[in-house]
A and B are shown apart, each in its own frame.
Chain A
Amino acid sequence: MWSLFFDSLTLLVQPGNMAVMFGGVLLGLVFGSLPGLSTTMAVALMLPLTFVFSSTLGISMLVAIYVGGISGSCVSAILLRIPGTAASIATTFDGFPLAQKGQPVRALGTAIVASFFGGIIGLAILITAAPYIARIAIKFGPVEYSALALMALTLVGTLSGGSMLKGLLAATFGLALSLVGIAPIDAHPRYTFEIQGLIGGLAIVPFLIGLYAVPQLVLQVGRRSESRVALDLKVRGFGVTLADIRRNITNILRSALIGMGIGSLPGIGSAAANLVSYGVARQFSKNPEAFGTGTTEGIWAPETSNNASVAGALLPLITLGIPGGGVTAVMLGGFTIHNIQPGPLLFRTNPEAIAAVYAAFLLAAVLVLLTQLFSIRLFPRVLQTPRRFLIPAVFMITVTGVYISDYRVFDIFVMFAVGCVGITFERYRFPLAPVVLGFVIGPILEVNLRRALMLSKGDWLPFLTKPLSATFLLVALSIVVFGILRRRASSRP
């Protein structure tokens, strides 16, 4: 595998191929950073173009777009508090406050380096342990999925800061919102209140933008005086020191493993990975109270995790032929176009294709790092744009972005309605992360819970007798108990 890997790498660094890879990375970065333009959309748009390339180059370009898209979503998350994709929701929690303190270069630099580390660690695990992880992933049935979803929800609900009760209520509220639309399995419409636009459910793009961007924009509009951010742009390189990396080495490794693990489970993906790793980082931090105020620890965790989840998502695609999400589903189409059938036999029939994916991943991670190094001082200048231009422009981008994500005006109003919820939640210090995770994980939890109960004929016992499921439930319970004990200990004088 290693010799094939280096052969593919040698091929990809040829000037013509490098230009295609660079184009893919740039496209991914732009699509990832603009709300409404998704990485899936970018990969789908470029899919027909791969016809003209060799299979190695075609597949490599799609991988480059994917890596670029996930890395690019941190830019708008940090500078504008608009997560470009769901993979960067948790990046807004500390990235945006740090940028507002005048250190956008440091915030962006941390996110960029974290993304690089996450990608490289994920790739190393992918190359060395793909068949073994695939064997564990294949053991996940509906019972294990439900238990894992419940654990993730409890973790984020409990650890997202402030009152634990508020976190759990916010997570349940997110679950409730995920119920709107067509029910899974039997496709029965529910909670639509006879509103045509609600039949398809609430879409993720207006939901995310409404919850995170609208409250911040409203706050900016309502301010009587213009608050200018004093930018500290005199920072060397990425603004990340070796000491900072050393301090966060456990955080980085742990978040990469979480990203890889959650990313490798079909259907869950990077949206859950970044939130869970943020929650875990906060739990294990020596300064948990600094989370949410602009600590770099809170940027390392989600950004390492979401890029590792890209490697994780490629794992079931390559080893089992199962796409874990939208992007990998489109990529499966790309493999098919080039007559490559992913699955267990691919390692024997076409190891060159696997080596090409690995090589493209590495090259794309390096190209993303270099591209962002040259643009890191350019993007923060957005924060110096006068309010009278910046706010209308951001509203215009969000309205148009939400519209083109599904071509429905209804979604724009959903964004504003969710924005009102976001404003209320922020006003009374309810955490937003559990709402998002509840909303994202709700359908996964429901479909797997119903399948599990169907298989067990309504018996709940398998949740406790299956080792993986029992472990997840035990961890969930421990998190709640530990959270209560920790709060009691901290409230003592």
Chain B
Amino acid sequence: MLRLEINRVFGFLAIACGAVLIWQRPQATAAAAGEPGPAYFPMIVAGLLILLGIVFALVPAQVAVKRDADPDGDPDEKGDGFDLRMLVVFAALTLAYAGLFTTLGFHISTALYLVSASYLLSDGGLRALIGSAVFAILGTLVFGIALTRFFGAFLPEASFL
């Protein structure tokens, strides 16, 4: 039953995406005579999305039967043995790393990220913390040097230094 509803949700999402494409279509006219203009192709894609969305929303039963016939999927998918709290904390940490990447610079942000992410995934304790710190310092230095010296990449420096 839940699967059936999910297929229907995807159908409505596709219709909504198509509607957004139509609603936000560019208003500019074609640059040359006979040229269909920048809204032409998006309208085709929108039409396809709406059509497929309707099909998906109206005829979900066949798909649903197939999905229900496969109840022994990946245990992770069913939520068994899955640590959602760890995932949320880790995601927040990684997003913070991305957000502070240019402000703190590559070296500081990466070292802080690696030490905290590595420690978070460990069993805890002082030994794990030392291991994480060593890994963070070495990882940051080796990767940073390789990228800048050998591959000519430019990495952000701390904006406050």
Contacts and interface: CB of A to CB of B under 8 A. Distances in A.
B14 to A, nearest CB: 6
A414 to B, nearest CB: 10
B41 A450 contact: yes
B123 to A, nearest CB: 9
B143 A396 contact: yes
Contacts of B121: 221, 387-388, 391-392
Contacts of B14: 169, 172-173
A224 B82 contact: yes
Interface residues of B, number: 70
Interface of A: 30-31, 37, 45, 163, 165-166, 168-169, 172-173, 175-176, 179, 183, 185-186, 188-191, 193, 218-219, 221-225, 387-389, 391-393, 395-397, 399-400, 403-404, 407, 409, 412-413, 416, 427-430, 445-446, 449-450, 453-454, 457-458
Given A190-B38, A222-B76, A223-B82, 10 more contacts: A45-B152, A176-B45, A185-B35, A392-B117, A392-B121, A395-B113, A396-B110, A400-B106, A404-B155, A446-B41
Contact of A454 (B17, B34, B52, B81): B34
B96 to A, nearest CB: 11
Contacts of B132: 388
Contacts of A190: 24-26, 38-39, 42
A449 B41 contact: yes
A440 B68 CA distance: 33
A404 B147 contact: yes
Contact of A453 (B36, B83, B101): B36
B149 to A, nearest CB: 13
A223 B52 contact: no
Nearest to A429: B67
A186 B31 contact: yes
A141 to B, nearest CB: 16
Interface string B91-108: 100110111011000100
Contact of B6 (A173, A185, A428): A428
B98 A399 contact: yes
Nearest to B49: A172
B101 A412 contact: yes
Contacts of B76: 219, 222-223
22 contacts: A165-B52, A176-B21, A176-B42, A179-B21, A190-B26, A190-B42, A191-B21, A221-B87, A221-B121, A222-B76, A223-B83, A224-B81, A388-B119, A389-B118, A395-B113, A396-B97, A400-B110, A404-B155, A429-B67, A450-B36, A453-B40, A457-B34
Nearest to A166: B63
Contact of A188 (B28, B45, B97, B128): B28
B1 interface: no
B141 to A, nearest CB: 12
Contact of B35 (A166, A219, A454): A454
B55 interface: yes
Given A173-B17, A397-B143, A223 B48 contact: no
Contacts of B83: 222-224
Listed residue (A30, A45, A225, A399) with the most chain B CB atoms within 10 angstroms of its CB: A399
Nearest to A45: B152
A57 B82 CA distance: 55
A421 to B, nearest CB: 11
B52 A168 contact: yes
B56 interface: yes
A404 B117 contact: no
A169 B52 CA distance: 6
Nearest to A443: B41
A416 B95 contact: yes
B130 interface: no
B98 A412 contact: yes
A179 B135 contact: no
Contact of B31 (A185, A388, A389, A397): A185
